[in-house]
Structure 1
């Protein structure tokens, strides 16, 4: 099947689904309808491109391919091998990385493999605390990371919200971690990878770059790359990269074998080759001028949203953003993050809540909201449209009537519906 055949094949598949399972077909249609009447601002979401979707639904969805190219545990893997080698080469070229592993099924799976390659149970790890923007895989007790390793959390400065590198250095000297994880999921500024490298070298620690949210920016040259500084870079292929849901590992040549063995056979079974094919497509598309334009729209749009929220009384954390992410405090508006999320959802503005560093609100409520501009930028929105979205958010958060905002949200959603 060629890419040109993808849309007819999609409709043939849709008809087959409706015949076989009308309930699931109706639920998928309901998801389409939900999206058509709302704006998707969740920080971790974007839109997979049509070519990525075509690869995901191609014949490789059926193929078993345990192992690596040339070293499979099954026969009939010649096309699968070529697909994976293409994905690896494209990842290495796009990120200027000595080695890439394209098999992880998610960013968390990729982080698990990174830990497995570098650490042993009960090793000390220094990472951004969850309260200050770290991911669950950075030491949450509900996650494997917090149960298998001894995590110590660094945070951001109270005055400007930027990563406190002095604290990072002090904690590294105190705890002598086996690894330092740089980066988080709610941090809207560029990370000083070189400074983290210097600290890691001082205490003889591995440096792991948590780049799940920012890999797409790096691919477009819109953010500094962690690859020259980190021993292992953990990324995702969805979010701004607009690929399938999945993970990606980049590492030094010296760690290549350890990383590969940590993915297969240690933490995963056979590769999902249809996902690998879709990753290969996304990585190729990320090297195009069109993709660079998309990322620039996402970043300029995020800055416009941040400015509008600040004007509405919800100041952005760190004072703004360098990325597609915006985190803001709604405490001055008398709201919790939960209430803000609910109000915005009622108006068709889909975003999430997040913790605000040094805030006394309980974790279940929070005082912050977090959003991303990846999906709206993928639909064609730019700075002007996203600035208006920020104003709509401000109106809802200030307590204005929901229906007028909801009506304008529907208009914007319809105007940009169907674009990928």
Structure 2
């Protein structure tokens, strides 16, 4: 399959043909393999255009109307537009769109509410918590005293009784709800109730479900959490970056925690691309997309279960599916390698209540390409054929090429 760069990338080909070939190689990889990493998606050409715009040239430390650099009149308009679109999309009183990533958004949330040494209750890393939820390798685990709650061994669902008991025992300054591998909706109202009972702030790390929230395909944490941290890529289908939503009473603290406390100049080209993505996410077309993402994830989970994999929690409410491939005779890391060789790109994750690794995959990108439940059933069958017998890798790779050929991520390139 021939792939090309955008017309404006001709300058790159002339100036740096080596890098141009690298970009073409990545476009070819994305176009001929199945992108099943739950945190990835394909942005629209409009988002890509904003990312490659002259706004990349502008230094704009500070906020609209209060910058530390001159010449910010136009980028102020861009940031205000992104903020207003985010507020309207999620029903939030305040939005900060400057965070460079989901992790930097969480860092700013902690900086706004906590002091070093404060106790924080969050989902344990071995049960699906993020690095920013207390990993000793991360700022969170070094600066704060994290206590981890978990999921029930039998159901795989968050152990609400344990959450309440740990909150009462440790009286945390903040409670974090959110996960990188939990496929079910989180009960934000429950977490709000517990936070109120022990006088804690509630921080929702909604990096994964926020796109489904935008498309009305998942419950919103905004009415319940003091601060909502999120990414603008993943299901939301925007540029790689972060954002923070909160009430007006915390707006100044959040803004100061982002700039100047945790980061410097805003990336105005990325903020413009975020505004484009928020605008796209406010359409009925995006809502239909979000519903299809969930339908595809459920179809994929059902297909994997029918092929003999153990799907955690018995299914999914979101774009995420996590599964144990060991019934087919392979561990998670081996399975990921075999599937990658067959052109099916995904991640591994820790399976709770043990040290084994399972598979973590998502349907956001393949749904953007236009695939539906029929294709999910085919993907599940390809999974099983490869994991049951490594000799099937080459044949599966050809089938993946044929499948992706009918669903190009950027038609016409």
Report if TM-score (shorter chain) is over 0.5. yes
Say if 2:170 is the partner of 1:175. Answer: yes
Report 1:276-291 matches (<5 A). 276-291=271-286
**Alignment: residue pair count:** 407
**8 A contact 1:38–1:349 mirrored in 2:** yes
Q: How far 1:359 sits from its partner (Å)?
A: 2.1
Q: Which of the numbers 388, 397, 407 marks the counterpart of 1:398?
A: 388
Report 1:215-254 matches (<5 A). 215-254=210-249
Say if 2:112 is the partner of 1:112. Answer: no
The residue that corresponds to 2:295 in the other structure is 300
Taking the aligned partners of 1:114 and 1:162, their CA distance within structure 2 comes to 26
**8 A contact 1:308–1:394 mirrored in 2:** no
Q: Which of the numbers 83, 86, 90 marks the counterpart of 2:85?
A: 90
Q: How far 1:24 sits from its partner (Å)?
A: 1.2
Say if 2:376 is the partner of 1:386. Answer: yes
Taking the aligned partners of 2:135 and 2:88, their CA distance within structure 1 comes to 34
* Local SS of the residue matching 1:217: helix
* Local SS of the residue matching 2:55: helix
Taking the aligned partners of 2:399 and 2:355, their CA distance within structure 1 comes to 35
Taking the aligned partners of 1:277 and 1:199, their CA distance within structure 2 comes to 38
Taking the aligned partners of 1:159 and 1:114, their CA distance within structure 2 comes to 33
The residue that corresponds to 2:53 in the other structure is 58
**8 A contact 2:41–2:235 mirrored in 1:** yes
1:333-386 CA-to-partner distances (Å, cap 9, x unmatched) read 22211001011001100011111011243xxxx2x0000111100111111112
The residue that corresponds to 1:129 in the other structure is 124
1:243-269 CA-to-partner distances (Å, cap 9, x unmatched) read 100001000111000000000000010
Q: How far 1:286 sits from its partner (Å)?
A: 0.2
For normalisation by structure 1, the TM-score amounts to 0.95
1:299-331 CA-to-partner distances (Å, cap 9, x unmatched) read 111111101111111111100000011000112
In structure 1, runs of 5+ residues without a counterpart are 1-7
Report 1:353-372 matches (<5 A). 353-361=348-356, 366=357, 368-372=358-362
In structure 2, runs of 5+ residues without a counterpart are none
Q: How far 1:276 sits from its partner (Å)?
A: 0.5
Q: Which of the numbers 396, 402, 406 marks the counterpart of 1:415?
A: 406
Taking the aligned partners of 1:372 and 1:42, their CA distance within structure 2 comes to 6
* Local SS of the residue matching 2:264: coil
* Local SS of the residue matching 1:104: coil
Q: How far 1:419 sits from its partner (Å)?
A: 3.5
Say if 2:147 is the partner of 1:152. Answer: yes
Instruction: Give the CA RMSD over aligned residues.
Output: 1.3
**8 A contact 2:5–2:24 mirrored in 1:** no
Taking the aligned partners of 1:60 and 1:131, their CA distance within structure 2 comes to 41
Taking the aligned partners of 2:405 and 2:360, their CA distance within structure 1 comes to 24
